[in-house]
Structure 1
Amino acid sequence: MVQQEINMPFYSDLTELISDFSFDNLKSFCENHYILLSGLLSTAVGLKLLRTYFVGGVFRSKARLDGKTVVITGGNTGIGFETALDLAKRGARVVLGCRDVTRGEEAAKKIRRASGNGNIIFRRLDLASLESVRQFARETLAAEKDIHILLNNAGIMMCPNWKSVEGYEMQFATNHLGHFLLTNLLLEKIKKSAPSRIINVSSRAHIRGQINFDDINFQKEYHPRLAYSQSKLANVLFTRELSRRLEGTGVTVNALHPGMVNTELARHMSEAGYHMWALYPLYPLLMLVSKTPEQGAQTSIYAAVSEEAGKVTGKYFSDCALKDPVLPENSEEVERRLWDLSEEMVGLKTH
């Protein structure tokens, strides 16, 4: 009854105001419902402030990339597409490496149209196939004079217990091993193009990860979330080890967390047994705290373009700022061990 007593006069007066609008009626309406209007305004301002907080950093620099060549994996959708579009608008030559040919070619067309930059190239790349990675690298090395920015962006999250072409756990294979091999195959050209940058898109999920050297492929018992966290920690550890190996070359290597972004990345969770319908009641909250793909791309753009990011290496960014990753004990030892294992798994190990 109290709710009805509060709301009915408000709606009645609002209807009257709309039907017979005047500034005198508006003044009277505001005076009669001052408390309720103040509460609504405070709520709206509070929601706006919360939304601004969760959106995070925005990279506003107008810096150009004319004459620069960018290779970006997974540039056909989500933050990869938005990052590629932004870099194209800055004048860069952008090479998209995507698994789906139809979607990759369509993304390249959209970026050309939206940016006015015709220098957008698509090449097929399936990170879950080491031969596909090698083929992409061969084609890119043959066609590109320079590679100034390599943005390892593509990823898969919490999929069922799938295997890569070589039989490796899919998330570790796609998120880490494919990018590890690609980076090493392109490395000499990246060094010759210095100053240049390598950027690995990780996730805050790395804080829950550990490198399970005794069962790297989760053959004993598969946990989608733990496997994802392992692969994202691998991105950070790979970044740190590679940065040490490239000291003095003019190549910087950094990792980043894009934030909680509303993209297709979560599309496999229901297949892995996560009941997405259970999150429906939380949908308004999730929309409040999650970023759009354009907002989620800001830290990737920052890492690729900003002068500040070009001066550091082996670091981790979030919301366009330096942050401290959560690392395992004896991190450098784990990083070296992961490097050696990755070399062996992708066939780069020399004896």
Structure 2
Amino acid sequence: MDGKTAIVTGANTGIGKETAKDLASRGVHVVLACRDMEKAERAVADIMREVDGASVVAKKLDLTDTKSICEFAEIIYNTEKSLHLLINNAGVAACPYSTTADGFEMQFGVNYLGHFFLTFLLLDLLKHSAPSRIINLSSMVHFMGKINFEDVNSEKSYHAVKAYAQSKMANILFTRELARRVEDLGISVFAVDPGKVNTEISRHLSWPLQVFLKTFGFMIKTPEEGSYTTLFCAVTPDLQSGGYYRNCAPATCSRAASDDHTACKLWALSCHLLGVHWQ
């Protein structure tokens, strides 16, 4: 994969860092898109120490703020000639109720809307670099979710796990609809369930659940193992665009996440919330 360029969001730790390191070992120039630049620079140093000849840089990206997303996209267009892989990996899980700078519920805003907007802004570079791929991180928790169109930002009521499940279902619906819209542009899109992974994303879980994860750690994947399906979708030829993948193979998502009408409706709502016109 020499000469390829990838962006991995949330790549300063966990699955994202392992994904970036593996891609760098394959000759990919990797941009670590992170909110915490101190941690991001440490991740860059780690990868460059562990991978001979790695081409890795860190760029500031705060998915809680559309202004930061715009600034990041502008930097990418000014510094990168191509983009072959956009890996929308960053996320928050089961956090206390809060909102982004633009007033979106935090999990819906970061896990889904922020990546929707980032993809929208970078699409021209992805088209220019075709064949290219977009990978959206989802979760098996999406089976518990639904898109609450009447209260998508949880302003009337908030349940941390339900909000997380909604955001991860949104990523699958986004993948389906985006794949349909870019199928003639040389861009493939995949949704990935990394499995149960021991990462910092679990920091907002209740103490009993954190104790459970530590006690039964043999059931939990390492971040490196959690990156395998993302990497599978990044490097394997002739995969079905728009699909949902788990354990390095096509998988079946929930019936609700497979509904094309819901996917189209969510697309329209997302464009409205972000104030963008995306054909």
Normalised by the length of structure 1, the TM-score is 0.77
Structure 1 residues 102-141: aligned runs within 5 Å: 102-141=38-77
Q: Is the 8 A contact 1:340 1:349 kept in 2?
A: no
Deviation at 1:280, TM superposition (A): 3.0
Q: Distance in 2 between matches of 1:198 and 1:326?
A: 21
* Letter aligned with residue 340 of structure 1: A
* Letter aligned with residue 296 of structure 1: G
Structure 1 residues 1-351: aligned runs within 5 Å: 65-269=1-205, 274=206, 276-277=207-208, 280=211, 283-285=214-216, 287-309=217-239, 312-328=240-256, 331-349=259-277
Q: As a proportion of its length, which structure holds more helix?
A: 1
Q: Which protein shows a greater Rg?
A: 1
Structure 1 alignment gaps of length 5 or more: 1-64
Q: CA RMSD in A?
A: 1.6
Query: What count of residue pairs does the alignment treat as equivalent?
Result: 279
Deviation at 1:283, TM superposition (A): 3.7
Q: Is the 8 A contact 2:91 2:201 kept in 1?
A: yes
Q: Distance in 2 between matches of 1:243 and 1:329?
A: 14
Deviation at 1:112, TM superposition (A): 1.4
SS where residue 190 of structure 2 aligns?
strand
Deviation at 1:277, TM superposition (A): 3.4
**Alignment CA distance shift 1:208-1:116 (3 Å):** same
SS where residue 333 of structure 1 aligns?
helix
SS where residue 213 of structure 1 aligns?
coil
Q: Distance in 1 between matches of 2:57 and 2:11?
A: 11
Structure 2 alignment gaps of length 5 or more: none
Deviation at 1:114, TM superposition (A): 1.0
Q: Distance in 1 between matches of 2:63 and 2:209?
A: 32
SS where residue 71 of structure 1 aligns?
strand
Q: Distance in 1 between matches of 2:44 and 2:213?
A: 35
**Alignment CA distance shift 1:222-1:143 (3 Å):** same
**Alignment CA distance shift 1:214-1:294 (3 Å):** same
Q: Give aligned-pair identity as a percent.
A: 45
* Letter aligned with residue 146 of structure 1: S
Normalised by the length of structure 2, the TM-score is 0.96
Q: Distance in 2 between matches of 1:282 and 1:133?
A: 33
